[in-house]
Homo-oligomer: A and B are copies of this chain.
Amino acid sequence: MSVIFRKNLEKFITLNDQNFDEVLQYFDHKTIKKKQNLMEEGDYCSEIYFVEQGCLRMFFIKENGLEQTTEFAIEQWWMTDNFSFERRLPTTFYIQAVEPTTVLSINNDKREALFKIHPIMEQYFRMVYQRSYAASQRRIRYLYEFTREELYFHFEGQYPEFVQRIPQYMLASFLGFTPEYLSEIRSKRRS
């Protein structure tokens, strides 16, 4: 039983207890320690992950050897390298646990089988992707629209729980700052 997954499904679709139990059987539970990688560059990205508890981040290694975080996922968020997942290709990203994390995972073949038996899951994933795409459409706009300082305050206003939870150097990387620049912005506001 996964109360949080059921809660998430019920945002978009209705499933009775028996159908929910059947759907759940297509998923695996995984527990990841803090800083452990769930996926690494070169791996076949065959699974998609739903965060039940904890926090994941996705990053890639830049030419200068530094990690660049591109996404975070907390409870009820899905994460994978969608391009590699669909095309069954090796990924160029890493997915790592920021905190001790538990996820539900499903691979591409199992998900196809699930869609055949429970076609209502097409509607669920249509809504998941529709929202994810809408969010990234807005994110791209903000990258054009905001200064780096505005980007931070906007992010803080929209996701206050993140700013509390995530180490500052990861947040800085995600926003494209140095950690020094981030602490400068934050101290300016306090003064």
Interface residue ranges, A against B (CB under 8 Å): 60, 62, 68, 70-71, 81-83, 85-86, 115, 119, 122-123, 125-126, 129-141, 143-145, 176
Within the complex, the shortest CB–CB distance from A46 to chain B, in Å, comes to 15
Please state if B133 and A82 are interface contacts (CB–CB under 8 Å): yes
**From residue A137, how far is it (CB to closest CB) to chain B in Å?**
6
The distance in angstroms between the C-alpha atoms of A85 and B134, with both chains bound, is 9
Q: How far is the CB of A135 from chain B (nearest CB, A)?
A: 8
Residue in B closest to A138 when the chains form the complex, CB atoms: B83
Copies of this subunit = 2
For A83, list chain B residues within 8 Å (CB).
134-135, 137-138
A86 CB contacts on chain B under 8 angstroms: 130-131, 134
Q: With CB as the reference atom, state the residue of chain B lying closest to A119.
A: B119
Given known A68-B144, A144-B70, A145-B68, contact A134–B82 (CB-CB < 8 A): yes
In contact, B176 and A144 (Cβ under 8 angstroms): yes
B residues in contact with A62, CB < 8 Å? 144-145
